[in-house]
Structure 1
């Protein structure tokens, strides 16, 4: 690689998105945010939707901002959260806004789905996590409602595929996010037709699958003329944001066993494997498989994550009429009684956007004979300690599945800036924690663009580049016995 080259990264999470320009010189890279925006779902006529047209508008704003400052952008790539999708009609028109994974109707038909297709059989066919946020549950809900989306649908596109389509006019499915719909056979890397036939999902909706590093096309002439930008290739990255995060981990040449936890609205813990692991132990422990870049697999567990404290913080801000920073939340947590109260963060009530989350925490603890004050510190301490204990449980399950001690834990995502969570995770597991970079997902997105452009030859080479370019912080384990005692109480 000669000189510095620029690449445009779009990373959309469930609560916000960003456009970043990366400058690479062959041995390191730097990244600059050129546009940030919120991602707010919309309730309309009893359904919770994603506002896809607003998100596409924000992508276009990001494109303009990037080309205003950088004139020679080599390519762009888009990653988003997993699970959700849109459907096009035969004329290529979007039939409706994508339904949000927290919409209650997605979950209402789950018992009926499992009478048609037993839960374990779904795992055996898809290899994925049996979590009701996955796309197959919304597809089945559409079949039961005889929804116009299925009646008139011609193409199924996951969220990053949909944004790529709106940019390029090319409708394709990128594989890592396709596995998040639970309609792929992860051994053959193709659509699983038995799932379609048994659940009544039209097979014709599902066509071309492409893989990270493939070129989708170019920003369309219409979009280029609207924004007054030059032609730019659009690359298929590992478009499921967690897959991009795993791709971008800052890992050098090491023989130490490692795991990762992506700390965001969802917390996702897992390990990378050569191929999907499909057996009774994985199923019984609540794990599943999803694709990552380079033909690899991640064995993962989805945990209701920082969503819980995000919901509580919104309540505190509303009640006090002032902004309450995350630093203040952590400070209040530190001053509260340790080890007093725990919740199971995966209880469905804590993922319900309609409830008063703080009130539900107090109620949950009260039913178990523990009184907890309705204060910022007491609630935050309960949530943070409960998350760390859930992380420990999840990682111990991974050790049981693999038979290997996890020596290093990579913490990535926005939550990796919370040093208390990082240190407590190291203490709880007795393992070294490496925190950062915060934007690991964006790094993984960049690396697949570099791969597509021939600037790197492998994921391993890209991870060394990530390590050379990233600021990370190491946390050594210190107080494992304290967390051993808490874990015994938690169980």
Structure 2
């Protein structure tokens, strides 16, 4: 299993004994975007180098590995040229040009029409906005590029030599017709990009080849079969959720750099309410759909921590930050985490938070604990607001909330979310993406027949924690203040 997030990545060898899955992390590394010539890139060659390191570490310890699969964050892509060579490093979804060009895109393809054609959230992180930015600039990527490959597709291409696009991540470009599960040429024609840059769509669980001979010879490894999971990490995470009661109305939050929240549906849902709420649809395995919204989440406190580490304490732990937030007085100040200023890289995020509070006439948080509490409470209330929207869209009262991903390690935040929404939270595991990745490998190998069966394996293999709701009056009062402060969040 290769599970690459936006700030770190890992190689994991998983073993299934017929009942439970055990995992061994064989390689781990940090990485991040690179800012150069006023553009923010991903270092794709570094990622591939670490993938090879992970392969070597895994195969030296477990020589009988039967398959591998790669999942990464969505939205971003690179190009290969007519000779099959990499054109440039992929540009990240946080690059400002991508966001500045969104209004120009809507001049040729109105936002509502884009939603109708793609069924996806028109959040500016989606791949179409970067593609259109390249088109506006007559960029090298489009002039020399012959094949467009999402980050995991690109890594798979380096490994196998096969250029293809895995479907769940392809829906993150907004270039797909999600009802037909094909590329939507109407969208490409409107933005003036040739459909020839796109490749065959493959589905989670498909085998796309094996590690090519030149790679095996260069690095002293053997030709392991390559499977595509849901290469979009959130789609893999949803596949790996250890659902404790399929009979209840449940939603999920994948809690990490992004807070990706939503619910599973059988088909994409296109309606005025979905569009106006900022929700959209993306594919998950087995032909199913997730109706989701992308919320700037732990990225904000990660940026704060970077600043605090530089200013004060080099080894500042997350536990220290959370504890400081708990000890701080209950917050009287809130931010809207979806304000674009919080989604961009900031040299001094604590100051950005303070300035935003001051501009809105609020009491300004001063200490690390006060700033952290302001953020965590604001995020909690934003989740409550969007969960209530989800209930309105679906017509169902939520009975259960699954929280997965690295953010589940923050027990305080999980409890606050349960309290604020007033429903039980099932938190864990942290490695849900890896579990979903492995379930698709098991399916490709014939060990698992259905997604439901895979989730039952996830449940039997996972450590989960249940948080019961409480402290209702505190959160109801805070929510009332939050809605008054940010009236655009009122329904």
Match of 1:191 among 183, 193, 202: 183
Q: Return 44-53 or 169-178, whichever deviates more.
A: 44-53
Alignment correspondent of 2:488: none
Q: Is 1:101–2:93 an aligned residue pair?
A: yes
2-side partners of 1:391 and 1:306: how far apart?
A: 13
Q: Return 355-364 or 402-411, whichever deviates more.
A: 355-364
Q: Return 459-468 or 97-106, whichever deviates more.
A: 97-106
2-side partners of 1:336 and 1:14: how far apart?
A: 30
1-side partners of 2:133 and 2:307: how far apart?
A: 32
Alignment correspondent of 1:15: 7
C-alpha contact 1:150 1:202 (8 A) present in aligned 2: no
C-alpha contact 1:40 1:50 (8 A) present in aligned 2: yes
1-side partners of 2:72 and 2:314: how far apart?
A: 31
Q: How does 1:19-34 map to 2 (within 5 A)?
A: 19-34=11-26
Alignment correspondent of 2:489: none
Q: How does 1:448-467 map to 2 (within 5 A)?
A: 448-467=440-459
Q: Is 1:150–2:139 an aligned residue pair?
A: no
When normalised by structure 2's length, the TM-score is 0.97
Q: Return 144-153 or 301-310, whichever deviates more.
A: 144-153
Alignment correspondent of 2:297: 305
- The alpha carbon displacement at 1:354 in A equals 3.5
Task: Kindly provide the CA deviation profile for residues 139-167 of structure 1, in whole angstroms up to 9, marking residues without a partner as x.
Answer: 00111101121112211100110000001
- The alpha carbon displacement at 1:230 in A equals 1.8
Q: How does 1:342-381 map to 2 (within 5 A)?
A: 342-381=334-373
Alignment correspondent of 2:52: 60
- The alpha carbon displacement at 1:372 in A equals 2.2
Match of 1:431 among 423, 436, 444: 423
Q: Return 370-379 or 342-351, whichever deviates more.
A: 370-379
Match of 2:130 among 132, 138, 143: 138
Alignment correspondent of 1:420: 412
2-side partners of 1:250 and 1:373: how far apart?
A: 38
Match of 1:339 among 331, 334, 343: 331
- Secondary structure of the 1:318 match is helix
Task: Kindly provide the CA deviation profile for residues 300-349 of structure 1, in whole angstroms up to 9, marking residues without a partner as x.
Answer: 01000000000001111100143111111011001111131110000000
Alignment correspondent of 2:113: 121
Q: Is 1:37–2:34 an aligned residue pair?
A: no
C-alpha contact 2:163 2:199 (8 A) present in aligned 1: no
Q: How does 1:245-260 map to 2 (within 5 A)?
A: 245-252=237-244, 254-260=246-252
Q: Return 270-279 or 346-355, whichever deviates more.
A: 346-355
Unaligned runs of 5+ in 2: 484-491
Q: Is 1:238–2:210 an aligned residue pair?
A: no
- The alpha carbon displacement at 1:355 in A equals 4.5
Task: Kindly provide the CA deviation profile for residues 207-237 of structure 1, in whole angstroms up to 9, marking residues without a partner as x.
Answer: 2000000001001111111221222100010
1-side partners of 2:134 and 2:338: how far apart?
A: 26
Task: Kindly provide the CA deviation profile for residues 385-434 of structure 1, in whole angstroms up to 9, marking residues without a partner as x.
Answer: 00000000111010000111111111111111100111111111111100
Task: Kindly provide the CA deviation profile for residues 61-115 of structure 1, in whole angstroms up to 9, marking residues without a partner as x.
Answer: 0000001110110100000000100011111111100001111111121111111
C-alpha contact 1:426 1:477 (8 A) present in aligned 2: yes
Alignment correspondent of 1:383: 375
- The alpha carbon displacement at 1:254 in A equals 3.0
Alignment correspondent of 1:206: 198
1-side partners of 2:332 and 2:290: how far apart?
A: 34
1-side partners of 2:245 and 2:339: how far apart?
A: 39
C-alpha contact 1:427 1:479 (8 A) present in aligned 2: yes
C-alpha contact 1:34 1:62 (8 A) present in aligned 2: yes
- Secondary structure of the 1:293 match is coil
Q: Return 431-440 or 353-362, whichever deviates more.
A: 353-362
- Secondary structure of the 2:14 match is strand
1-side partners of 2:342 and 2:244: how far apart?
A: 38
Alignment correspondent of 1:91: 83
Match of 2:173 among 181, 186, 190: 181
- The alpha carbon displacement at 1:480 in A equals 2.0
Runs of 4 or more off by more than 6 Å in structure 1?
none
- The alpha carbon displacement at 1:252 in A equals 4.2
2-side partners of 1:305 and 1:443: how far apart?
A: 22
- Secondary structure of the 2:67 match is strand
- The alpha carbon displacement at 1:253 in A equals 5.1
1-side partners of 2:373 and 2:265: how far apart?
A: 34
1-side partners of 2:295 and 2:375: how far apart?
A: 13
1-side partners of 2:13 and 2:284: how far apart?
A: 23
- The alpha carbon displacement at 1:178 in A equals 0.2
- The alpha carbon displacement at 1:201 in A equals 1.2
2-side partners of 1:227 and 1:458: how far apart?
A: 36
Alignment correspondent of 1:269: 261
Task: Kindly provide the CA deviation profile for residues 170-210 of structure 1, in whole angstroms up to 9, marking residues without a partner as x.
Answer: 10000000000110010100001011111011211012000
2-side partners of 1:31 and 1:372: how far apart?
A: 45
- The alpha carbon displacement at 1:374 in A equals 2.5
- Secondary structure of the 1:456 match is coil
